[in-house]
Structure 1
Amino acid sequence: MNELECRTFVEQVTAYLEGALSPEAEQTFIDHLPLCTGCENYLDQMQRTQQALSNLPADGLPDDTRSALLAAFQRRATNS
């Protein structure tokens, strides 16, 4: 599939994981997976992230942990 279709795939990952795609869109999404290793890997990463985040306490992160994570993300974005 071309770059635009992969971009569309990435845009639909959240909807797919939440079960919010129409049956037709979901089938198109699933049909793309065996054709594109990059998108398959991206979906796997997002599923792992979703699973890891589901274990967080409902009341959120402590302020110091949140600040440390935000700083790490900002450093990574600056270095990219």
Structure 2
Amino acid sequence: MADPGDLRCQEFVELVTEYLEDALPPAERARFQAHLDYCDACIIYIEEIRLTIRALGHLSEDQIGPAARDRLLAEFRDWKRAPNFAPTS
């Protein structure tokens, strides 16, 4: 069994896309899921990502104008660079 303390929230955030796309190797997936067993903040975070995907996932790239796309990408980059972008640890 994976050690839940083995994965910090920042790494969790970095791996969330691969997890949702079922692209993590089995050992990484086990670490990721073990983290979810005890971290309420990351449970909330991944649910917010899932809700966002459900709400916006139907949009194709050509349905989003270049300016809106650039702004969204800039917001995401800025958010990820923020000192407290990871849920808790």
TM-score, scaled to structure 1: 0.67
Instruction: Please provide the CA RMSD for this pair.
Output: 2.8
Q: Which has the higher helix share?
A: 1
Q: Deviating runs (4+, > 3 A) in structure 1?
A: none
Please give the per-residue CA displacement for 1:1-55, whole angstroms capped at 9, x wherever unaligned. Answer: 66x7111111100111111100111111011112010011000011111111212
SS in 1 for 2:24: coil
Pick from 38, 47, 50: which aligns with 2:50?
A: 47
Paired with 1:32 and 1:52, the residues of 2 have a C-alpha distance of 26
Give the unaligned 5+ runs of structure 1.
none
Identity of aligned residues (%): 35
Question: Where does the alignment leave 5 or more consecutive residues of structure 2 unmatched?
Answer: 80-89
**Cα 1:63–1:14 shift into 2, 3 Å:** closer
Q: Which residue does 1:35 correspond to in 2?
A: 38
